A and B are shown apart, each in its own frame.
Chain A
Amino acid sequence: MAEEMTTSPITAAEVRKHHSMWAELFIRLVKEKPMGTVGGVIMLVLILTGIFAEILAPYGYNEIILADRLDPPTASHLLGCDNLGRDLLSRIIYGARISMLVGFCGALLEAAVSLIIGVTSGFFGGKYDMFMQRFVDSFMCFPPLVLYLTIMAVLGPGLLQVILVLGITGGIRGSRVTRSAVIGIKENVYFEAARAIGVPGGRTLIRHVLPNIMPVIIVGFTTVIGRMILSEAMLSFLGFGIPPPTPSWGGMLSGTGRQYMLQAPWMCIWPGLALAAVVYGINMLGDAVRDILDPRLRGGLGRYGGAKLKKMQERLGPDTEKEE
């Protein structure tokens, strides 16, 4: 009885904390992580550019002005023109839309797939887990780019195909992290207690497991966006991603345009620069979000922040996560 008395206030605090998780995340990001905030701003710029591409771009992405072929950056074409006389600034702006779509849809799909595989595998365990893990093992043997290229060669190029391939294969890889998070939660006392008082399996899954793996999912989501954008660019660069004339930052660096780059070097600067800046920003943001939400820095701290967290961080190191 006495034990029940002590456990109930903690769960109440937990519930309150979860309500304001997004707000807390945002406040802590701005307060403690200046570089992460810069990354967040870069991501916001990408999203807005992607949404309002039509308004922002001075020309159409495939508007050919033959007189301006290979023009260097001037007042009318701020970033110059490519070999077909298309305004590079406009193409970069429309390219942001592709990167945004691939980044977010891909990361969402990855999160969903990794959630489905990881949670079922970790939660049910047993033979099902054993089989699923061999399957995931086999998938992880394939070098990512080689696998993407092979599947893209079978499916054919296109935006939807890129998102599907990157999202699903990423999700299968990512399910490992989700699975171990679920297994970790199953070892907690509160989970055992829930089982002991006869809470049915489905309910423990929804009330105990899912809310507690959210930080892992959010961290995974933010860190994955950058990789999605980079992978799409690689695929388009190799000619297996987004087919021309749709402007993709990777595709703009490849194809027939390569022959003209010696005469018009600006053709190869801007798309790469845009790509590097966006991926860098998103990775900085992902890193900051991971520092804030890392499950190993939570628990027993009550509220986030303060001297207690500093001490914790000193003991654990702010990024104890092992890279893949």
Chain B
Amino acid sequence: MRAYVVRRFLLMIPTLGIVTVIVFLLVRFIPGDVIDMMMAQMSEQSGMGAELTEEYLREAMGLDQPMHVQYGRWLGVWPQETGEVSGIFQGDLGESLWKNESIVQEIIQRLPVSLELGVIALLTAWIIAIPIGVYSAIRQDTWGDYVGRTIAILAISLPSFWIGTMVIVYPSIWWGWTPSLEYIPIVRDLGVNLVQFMIPGFIMGMVMSGTTMRMTRTMMLEVLRQDYIRTAWAKGLKERTIIVRHAMKNALIPVITIAGMMLPFLISGTVIIEQIFCLPGIGRLMFEALTQRDYPVISGINLVLATVVLLMNLLVDVTYAWLDPRVQYQ
């Protein structure tokens, strides 16, 4: 087991290296006209257009240096202009082009919003998906199963941004009710905060439940064909006991652990939902950075998210191997 964890960990290092190269190159391929656009935008918004020249901007972004120097500085293995070594390795993602605020700080500030949304979404997805998925499996190829599977495909097909828009438009026409567009932190008022997060979280969870439902059904079907289930039937146990105590216990391990694998899709969901419901989370930070072409922030968020996903995948694999002794460590 320890050898397996160590091996997986070592395998992660080259992957992480390539991640940094991808993030670095993505943003470094900014065409020239984007620099012009940034200049236009900057002079418009900050009113200090007089001092801004293309060279200044390129220099400020470090784009005047050769590629390997830029990469080295960004990573934190090459000294910055000031002589100090500060980069990713030192936990420094640099500063936003617009606000004089460290990107790490900004991300930490925005994290609770996205985290709360994600937790609500995940719980919603499980609450919807697991009962339907289990029912679908134990009544395979009956009408109940067809309805369950149809619901699952429907959930995958519904665009979350459409549902979100409808939820904002229709209640306001019918009952004059609109979801609060001002963010209330959880520490200020728990009740108001929960009400505010419930709807966006529920929409995200609903969209995610489709995949979870199918996964639950597949896993249940697999487990229900095992010998120990037949033994349980032969012992004369009640169906309820067999399903809940014997089958679900085993079928749900992968369903729960796989939730970690769904993190990338969860993050994608928050980008959309935070935008619609004006919640200041990571997704909205990303969106703001994109519209303002704040490239250091964009690469910072990309790097952080990719690293989190990578660590999560490792965690999932290790947990899975720990929970299920049949998993081979090879």
Contacts and interface: CB of A to CB of B under 8 A. Distances in A.
Interface of A: 35, 134-135, 137-147, 149-151, 153-154, 226, 230, 233-234, 237-240, 250, 253, 258, 261-262, 265, 268-269, 271-272, 275-276, 279-280, 283-284, 287, 315, 317, 319-324
Q: Is the interface of A mostly helix, strand, loop or mixed?
A: helix
Interface string B50-63: 00000000000000
A265 B170 contact: yes
B19 interface: yes
20 contacts: A134-B15, A138-B22, A138-B306, A141-B19, A143-B267, A145-B268, A149-B286, A154-B27, A233-B161, A234-B159, A250-B161, A272-B166, A275-B162, A276-B159, A283-B153, A283-B157, A317-B218, A319-B217, A323-B211, A323-B258
A137 B306 CA distance: 10
A154 B18 contact: no
B271 A145 contact: yes
A150 B298 contact: yes
B162 A150 contact: no
B244 interface: no
Contacts of A272: 159, 162-163, 165-166
A238 B221 contact: no
A46 to B, nearest CB: 13
B40 to A, nearest CB: 15
Q: Is the interface of B mostly helix, strand, loop or mixed?
A: helix
B169 A154 contact: no
Contacts of B291: 239
**In which size bucket is the chain B interface?**
35 or more
A262 B173 contact: yes
Contact of A280 (B18, B31, B154, B263): B154
B301 interface: yes
8 nearest interchain CB pairs? Answer: A272-B162, A145-B268, A317-B221, A138-B18, A143-B267, A141-B306, A280-B157, A143-B264
B39 interface: no
Contact of A146 (B16, B146, B158, B305): B305
Interface in B1-38: 14-16, 18-19, 22, 26-27, 29-31, 34
B97 to A, nearest CB: 14
A276 B158 contact: yes
A262 B157 contact: no
B225 interface: yes
Given A146-B267, A146-B305, A268-B169, A134 B18 contact: yes
A253 B29 CA distance: 31
Contacts of A135: 18
B309 to A, nearest CB: 5
A146 B309 contact: no
Quick one: which of A142, A234, A280 has the most chain B CB within 10 A?
A142
B197 to A, nearest CB: 20
Contacts of A280: 153-154, 157
Nearest to B225: A315
A258 B276 CA distance: 11
Given A240-B290, A319-B218, 6 more contacts: A137-B15, A138-B22, A138-B306, A153-B293, A268-B169, A283-B153
B14 A253 contact: no
Contact of A268 (B18, B162, B290): B162
B156 interface: yes
Given A145-B272, A238-B287, A323-B211, A279 B162 contact: no
B73 interface: no
A35 B157 contact: no
B169 A143 contact: no
A321 B211 CA distance: 11
A283 B152 CA distance: 10
Contacts of A279: 157, 159
Contacts of B272: 145, 234, 237-238
B310 A141 contact: yes
Given A135-B18, A141-B309, A141-B310, A149 B159 contact: no
A290 to B, nearest CB: 11
B302 interface: yes
A262 B217 CA distance: 40
A153 B290 contact: yes
Nearest to A320: B218
B231 interface: no
Contacts of B222: 317, 320
Contacts of A147: 302
Nearest to B178: A262
B140 interface: yes
Interface in B238-288: 258, 261, 263-265, 267-268, 271-272, 275, 286-287
